[in-house]
Amino acid sequence: MEMKAFADKVRNALKKELSEGTEVRISKVRKNNGIELHGVSVFRPGENVTPTVYLEDYLVRYRGGEPFAEILRELKAVLDSNRLNHTFSVEAFARWEQAKERIVYKLINANKNSRLLEEVPHVLYLDLAVVFYYLLSGDNYGNASILINHKHREQWDVSEEELYAVAKANTRKLMPQKLQDMEALLREIILQDVERRKAERPLGEDSDKMAEEMLHAAMADKDVPLMYVLTNRQKYFGAACMLYTGLLKEIAGQLGHNLFILPSSVHELILLPDKGMDTPERLCDMVREVNETQVSAEEVLSDNVYYYNSEEDRVCVVRQMAEAQR
């Protein structure tokens, strides 16, 4: 079955099961890096904002023989559990003086998003692009957002420079940075796993000890250089933290070294102090391999590695740095 037929089947089935007055929409959504997905959204009376559930994985499961009734049951559960139960204020978004308080930015790959960049205000940065979005207010919306396009900018009658200035002030305030060394990150992941196991069945008083043993086992016999993960507290498009004024200089000063910056994804960066132990070629190979095998196509930021020179207070692409030194 092709996607169009499957999406129609989902829409018709949901219409039959949901209350009268509920609108079921199927839409093609352009995601990051030019990825296009098909999503289903349910608008109940009085709602103007709702989550979108993408159908690609469900189609794969249906083609694999999973009963449609089970897929539909799960789709309904996901739509219900992510329901926002709030109405978005279109009036507030339409007024620049109100909207500008929630304008932030994110980093995306410029080449892979070339079509998108024709439609949205942006600022080029190395091989990347800074684009702007409106972050819906409050915990009730999670990370729901609206990408700012040229029509929005024209409606507000503001320039790209003004958008950038506003987003620069807002992003660090609304999405403050979070820096962890790899050991601390592993500890957090392991403790979360222990808490999950405790919720499933009691682990007794030795659960903390078990977590320490798991951490020790994870770190033991590993000849791994000390690396740091930089993101924001929301862990949502946290790679933009590399734009925060003075942040990389502050981190480099604390660590006492210039920094290699490895784009783990659009959501986070790995910082590696330059102690003369790593070659740019090896790091570039590592980033490319991780992007190809571990990161979803939608979340890839770049195959390039970046370098922060604290004396010059400047970030460059490692390849360009090497060419300049020849």
Neighbours of 172 (CB within 10 A): 19
CB 135 within 8 A of CB 104: yes
SS3 call for 31: coil
Contact, 269 vs 314, CB < 8 A?
Answer: no
Last residue in a domain, options 33, 56, 81:
81
CA distances 168 to 3, 106, 155, 171, 192, Å, are: 40, 10, 21, 6, 33
| Together in a domain, 111 and 61 | no
Domain boundary residue, one of 153, 174, 195: 174
Distance, in Å, from the CA atom of 222 to the CA atom of 231, rounded to the nearest integer, reads 24
Q: Which residue has the tokens 């740091």?
A: 228
Three-state DSSP state, 313: coil
Cβ contacts of 74 within 8 Å, gap of 6 or more: 58
Residue 9, domain extent: 3-81
Do 98 and 16 sit in the same domain of this protein? no
Could you tell me how many residues make up the chain?
326
Q: Token match 């024209």: residue?
A: 154
192 inside domain: no
Q: Are residues 71 and 97 in the same domain?
A: no
60 and 108 together in one domain: no
- 200 located within any domain: no
pLDDT in tens, the chain (326 residues): 899 999 999 999 999 988 788 899 999 998 999 999 999 998 887 776 778 899 999 999 999 999 999 999 999 999 888 776 666 778 888 999 999 999 999 999 999 999 999 999 999 999 999 999 999 865 544 577 899 999 999 999 999 999 999 999 999 999 999 998 866 655 655 555 556 655 555 555 555 565 555 556 555 545 555 889 999 999 999 999 999 999 999 999 999 999 999 999 999 999 999 988 778 888 999 999 999 999 999 999 999 999 999 999 999 999 755 555 54
Phi, psi of 110 (to 5 degrees): -70, -45
Same domain, 107 and 71: no
How many domains does the chain fold into? 3
